[in-house]
Amino acid sequence: MSDLTFVRSDMQPALPPPVRTTGAIAWTRKNLFPSVSNGVWTIVAILFLLWLVPRLYGFLIGDAIFTDPEGLRGEACRFEGVGACWAYVAARFNFFIYGFFPLGEVWRVNIMFILGIIFLAPLLIPKAPLQKTAALMFFVVYPIVSYWLMAGGEFLGIPGTALRTVPTNQWGGLTLTLIISMIGIIVSMPLGILLALGRQSKLPIIKWFCVAFIELWRAVPLITVLFMASVMFPLFMPQGVNPDTLLRAIVGICLFQAAYMAEVVRGGLQAMPRGQYEAASALGLSKPKTMGLIILPQALKHVIPGIVNNFIALFKDTSLVSIIGVFELLNTVRAAARDLDWSSPTQAVTGYIFAGFVFWIFCFGMSRYSIYMENRLHTGHKR
């Protein structure tokens, strides 16, 4: 035996995987051309994008008019092959955001927006400091301050705080869209929960009242509700009693949404296994505590997608108030679409694209936040 035996002292390095399974080529093969039919669809999709993207780019950016330095207004956007007329949106931006709110008083709306963000942010960010204070501010103080900022007059009757009065028919634009949807969301949520609980109640009067309320409001289209609220309602009131049109519309939307919310929440309640109630009883919890500590937190968590779905629908439904002559975002865009100062071939289209984009930002934001909340509250029940 000689000592010339070969003993390898280090590991043989792993060979690179075959070229066909790595790198750009393999990725392409795996994801874009795994089979003939998928390959065909890939090619079709690429051709479609090649057709669409340059056109979109051309219309929205390439051929679009962003500024109007010479003050030509409509003429600046009036030529063959013009893209979007963003200068028009910029010129009427105030109208789209604030509606008929007096231009000198717009700072009040801005303060309201900023306060809203300050108070709302701690409530949306988990484990943010001062959440209880923020909740108190947002749900109690903020509505009062906002009303004062928007409507004017004296703050809680304190002399020296008088702001110029702005009647509600001068509120408008995105401001009004946000006001309506915010009130709708904040009011319909607790109301919906109460209705859902009431519908499950064993007390017949409460139960049947809730059932009748929910079924009545769900059986009527929102347009009808708004139309009744704005046009028919005054006929039933004694002369002189004429609540504000906007207020009537908002009340209508809140009740309408509460009925839908109630059914979503009921779905969550019914998904709770009986064992949860029994466990709560075994711990000696009272009925309200069972609901508040055990059932509702779980039930609501289950139906977050449904709830946010309702919020998004509500946000978009605010555009229906245009039927009663309220100038929310879409209606301001529609009203300005034929503004003679800016008349040009793409004037109306540009306005609608702007409105669509604004709606999309808010709806997409709500949707992403809902997904975030779902993941945060995820406790292993999900598949």
Partner 1 sequence: MKNKLLTLAVATATAVAAPAAFADTLDDVIERGYVQCGVTLGVPGFSMPDENNNWSGLEVDYCRALAAAIFDDPDAVRYTGLTSQARFESLGNGNVDVLSRTTTWTMTRDTDLGLTFVGTMFYDGQGFLVKAADGISSALELSGAAVCIEAGTTTELNAADYFAANGMDLSNAVIFVTRDEVTQAYLDGRCDVYTTDASAIAAERTQFPDPSAHVILPEIISKEPLGPVVRSGDTRWFNITRWTYFALLNAEELGVTQANVDEMLGSDNPEIKRLLGVEGDFGSPIGLSADWAYRIIKHIGNYGEAYDRHVGPNTPLGIPRGINALWSQGGIQYAPPIR
State which of positions 121-140 bind partner 1 (CB under 8 A).
none
Q: Binding of partner 1 at residue 334 (CB under 8 A)?
A: yes
* Three-class secondary structure of residue 234 per DSSP: helix
DSSP 41-63: HHHHHHHHHHHHHHHHHIIIIIS
Q: Segment near partner 1 (CB under 8 A), from 64-72, 186-194, 197-205, 321-329? A: 321-329
Residues 60-119 interacting with partner 1 (rule: CB under 8 A): 74, 78-80, 82, 91-92, 94-95, 99-103
- Binding partner 1 (rule: CB under 8 A), the pick from 174, 254, 348, 358 is 348
Q: How many CA atoms lie within 13 A of 115 on its CB side?
A: 20
Measured CA to CA, the distance from residue 108 to residue 96 in angstroms comes to 16
Torsion (CA) 285, 287, 289, 290 in degrees, nearest 10: 80
Q: Is 262 in the site for partner 1 (CB under 8 A)?
A: no
Compute how many residues bind partner 1; rule: CB under 8 A: 47
- CB neighbour list of residue 324: distance below 8 Å, 6 or more residues apart: 226, 227, 229, 230, 231, 245, 249
Site string for partner 1, 6-45 (x = CB under 8 A): ----------------------------------------
CB 366 within 8 A of CB 311: yes
- Residue 111 CA to residue 102 CA, distance in Å, equals 15
Residue 232 vs 283, nearer CB to partner 1: 232
Q: Does 286 bind partner 1 (CB under 8 A)?
A: no
Residues from 169 through 198 that contact partner 1 (CB under 8 A) = 169
Taking the least distance from each CB to partner 1, the nearer of 240 and 273 is 240
Contact with partner 1 (CB under 8 A) among 33, 113, 209, 227? 227
Residue from 121, 237, 247, 361 touching partner 1 (CB under 8 A): that is 237
The smaller minimum CB distance to partner 1, of residues 78 and 316, is found at 78
User: For residue 295, what is the DSSP state?
Assistant: I
CA 228, distance to chain mean position in Å, is 26
Dihedral sign for Cα atoms in the order 32, 36, 40, 43: positive
Applying CB under 8 A, does 337 fall inside the site for partner 1? yes
Among 175, 245, 310, 350, binds partner 1 (CB under 8 A): 245
